[in-house]
Structure 1
């Protein structure tokens, strides 16, 4: 799945999320939300295979991105992500809980593997980037107008001035 890398290189969340989700955005995780504008659909509701985009904080300078692998209920999802609990570690089916007061997924707590519990910190979230391309506005496509050829109902013989047209009925 991933190209081999030197032993000192650690897998980061952004390349992992890009590979798993198919959402082709590059750069630090906290920049994904703005980069997705006009390219991918975005929203505040989790959907399977959507990328959850975390804001940067003092604890997460570059933000974080994770792929929603399953919707559990209105306030819980499972995430696949890298570099969360330990540097370079890939985690599958990690629980994330919406802890926002409005229930809008603007703050989440995420499973921390070393403590075997949800993390203590509420992490701010921009929202979710969906794989589907944005809807383009509905603009009717007009077909070119047909070219009209006007033909007289009664054909008129064409003659040069001074010429006489002879019509023979013998055939």
Structure 2
């Protein structure tokens, strides 16, 4: 059943990629700031550390959170993407820019947690040129939660004591 859901979502993701014509050469950080309530400056690789003290961070995907990727040789400036929908603990749909092509905006594409610990530290992301989730896993720091989400989550949970 879960395989069918994931297969369907992957197929739908293929049609969700939008050309960046309206957002020519749009970078991932600019796009993430435009569509989310997380307002951080700096390169994507710095968002995780720049969020400290201003935004809650964690390893659980939540709609509206920003997934922060580490910088690597392949993507030296890192990457950020906004969670559109949580499918399950290992699959999410994201909106982001500048992944499958320069300035290209993609909405509702699949990201899969492939980390052995299930902590979103290694992620494969839909890559339009291959019409599949990427062949290489990209390292990620975790999720940065908007302040509005944190406030709602804090009031909804009973205090431990």
TM-score bracket for this pair, using the shorter chain length: 0.7 to 0.9
Q: If the length of structure 1 is used for normalisation, what is the TM-score?
A: 0.72
State how far apart, in whole Å, the 1-side matches of 2:63 and 2:147 are. Answer: 12
Selected match of 1:26 from 30, 35, 41: 41
2:81 aligned with 1:70, yes or no? Answer: no
Where does structure 2 lack aligned partners over 5 or more consecutive residues?
A: 1-21, 152-161
Unaligned runs of 5+ in 1: 1-6, 136-171
Retained in 2: the 8 A contact 1:106–1:124?
yes
Preserved contact between residue 15 and residue 26 of structure 1 (Cα < 8 Å)? no
1:97 deviates by 0.4
- The count of corresponding residues between Structure 1 and Structure 2 is 128
CA distance in 1, matches of 2:39, 2:88: 28
Q: Cα deviation per residue 1:55-103 (whole Å; 9 max; x = unaligned)?
A: 0000000000000000011110000000000000000011000000011
Q: Larger RCO: Structure 1 or Structure 2 (Cα < 8 Å, ≥ 6 residues apart)?
A: 2
Structure 2 residue 145 is the aligned partner of structure 1 residue 106: no
Who wins on radius of gyration, i.e. which is larger? 1
Runs of 4+ in 1 over 2 A off after TM superposition: none
**Preserved CA contact (<8 Å) 1:48 1:68:** yes
RMSD between superposed Cα atoms in Å: 1.5
- Displacement of 1:10 after TM fit? 1.3
Other-structure match for 1:51: 66
Shift of 1:35: 0.6
The structure whose residues are more often helix, as a share, is 2
